[in-house]
Structure 1
């Protein structure tokens, strides 16, 4: 599985490139197909970031990420 740096992840924010990726617990998910992540934004969260710490304040659990493909690991 490919390994990406935080800088590489940051470019997949739906603004700089078409890909919309987020990281959680060291894994990177492609959320590009989700209507909830249009333009790289999901409520007050931005794509291209590690959302591990922010998940504690979310109204859902990490289980929501199971429907997305893991495309790499965060370095």
Structure 2
């Protein structure tokens, strides 16, 4: 099964403000973090949903393994 590709503009709409969905991208994959209590209102500490977090993870106190608990719902095109 292939997963859909979304543009940066489509990802930006899933920021927890414009729509109910809360999505983030990391290394080309888009994750649905809507159910996470850590992403209420589309923000997690100084990070905002609806964008590619790849460059920001360098400074995070956790590793990329944090994404393992979320579903990949698309690719960033």
TM-score, length-normalised on structure 2?
Answer: 0.97
Q: What number of residue pairs does the alignment pair up?
A: 75
CA RMSD in angstroms comes to 0.2
Q: Distance in 1 between matches of 2:62 and 2:9?
A: 27
1:43 is matched with 45
Q: Secondary structure at the match of 1:53?
A: helix
- Structure 1 stretches of 4+ with a deviation exceeding 3 A read none
Question: 1:68 offset after TM fit, Å?
Answer: 0.2
Output the CA distance in 2 between the equivalents of 1:52 and 1:61. 11
Query: What does the per-residue CA deviation read over 1:32-51, in whole Å, with 9 as the maximum and x for residues that have no partner?
Result: 00000000000000000000
